[in-house]
Amino acid sequence: MKQGILNTLGLAAIVMALSANTARAADPLPSWNDGAAKKSITDFVANVAKEGCPDFVPPAERIATFDNDGTLWAEQPIYFQFQFALDRVKALAPQHPEWKNKEPFNHLIAGDMKAFLAGGEKSVMAVMAASHTGITTDEFDKIVKDWLRTARHPKTGRRYTEMVYQPMLELLEYVRANGFKTFIVSGGGVEFMRAFAEQTYGIPPEQVVGSSGKLKFEMRDSKPVLVKLPEVQFVDDKDGKPIGIETFIGRRPIAAFGNSDGDQQMLEWTAAGSGARFALIVHHTDAKREWAYDRKSDVGKLDKAWDEAVAKGWTVVSMKDDWATIFPPTK
């Protein structure tokens, strides 16, 4: 009988453990700590996805847009695309002996970042042009993929595609499972992001909106190619984000996710539509596990958009408090 009771208790414990496991497995956002931020997401998604609810939105209109730098992956100490550009210039230097005496390339070759940065935007644009143009779109795609396979982040030693936020990967998956179509809307170069967005985020190329340069169609050996020119076609940042959304997507999102003042207009445009709306800002508050920065930062400055988020009741996520995990396990 005693044995029987023990067995019964033992069985009960196993059943309870199994239930707890099931509950954990059923949480679509396990890397999000319970709290107001997480609840605002799950409440919104449940309300728009449930037919018969007042906030129901037909699947075709469930458009969610995500900034990339600082929202889906890290952006410190410098934007990863700019790190790619610097690495590319160094790799190309042997083919350009003239760079040794040419600003701003001479500073990069000498490893003098201070002198390079003194050149300001002009130097940055020169490096972007040298690394991103004068080649075909197919060549560029291969160069970016090669870099992503081999380059490592200077602080963490991770691959850049491993510097993505685990809670945001879960969020992308979660909203898609609820009938959302997920888009990147980012100031980053559209072709740079497309080189990894599908594999890393499950976002196909046709759902990536970004900045772009002009292209030139030409025939090489009777085969058409598209050559990347050093002229800007479209800048998908600040005011450019709602414009990019209108031009590329043609439908106002019902949910938008950003982290900086560059996302403010996208969040405003999203929030101003009729029906249920959701706007979220990732606040970088975790100096230990990631970085802590906002109003005074050169990269990913969060100032006016933060004030507006507070005033309008948008969700502000504190990475330190709301995220149980920051980065996914390395492979």
Residues that bind a copy of itself (CB under 8 A): 60, 63, 137, 181, 183, 190-191, 194, 198, 204-208, 212, 215-217, 223-224, 226, 233-234, 239, 242-243, 246-251, 265, 268-269, 272
Q: What's the CA gap between 27 and 18, in Å, rounded?
A: 14
Taking the complex as a whole, the smallest distance from the CB of residue 144 to a copy of itself amounts, in Å, to 13
Taking the complex as a whole, the smallest distance from the CB of residue 265 to a copy of itself amounts, in Å, to 6
DSSP for 155-196 reads: TT--BGGGSB-HHHHHHHHHHHHTT-EEEEEEEEEHHHHHHH
Q: What's the CA gap between 247 and 244, in Å, rounded?
A: 5
Taking the complex as a whole, the smallest distance from the CB of residue 86 to a copy of itself amounts, in Å, to 25
Taking the complex as a whole, the smallest distance from the CB of residue 173 to a copy of itself amounts, in Å, to 17
Taking the complex as a whole, the smallest distance from the CB of residue 159 to a copy of itself amounts, in Å, to 22
Q: What's the CA gap between 144 and 27, in Å, rounded?
A: 35
Q: What's the CA gap between 130 and 91, in Å, rounded?
A: 11
Q: What's the CA gap between 165 and 70, in Å, rounded?
A: 9
Q: What's the CA gap between 162 and 6, in Å, rounded?
A: 47
Of 108 and 185, the one with the shorter C-beta distance to a copy of itself is 185
271 in Cβ contact with 312 (< 8 Å): yes
Of 31 and 265, the one with the shorter C-beta distance to a copy of itself is 265
Of 208 and 319, the one with the shorter C-beta distance to a copy of itself is 208
Of 196 and 323, the one with the shorter C-beta distance to a copy of itself is 196
Of 139 and 246, the one with the shorter C-beta distance to a copy of itself is 246
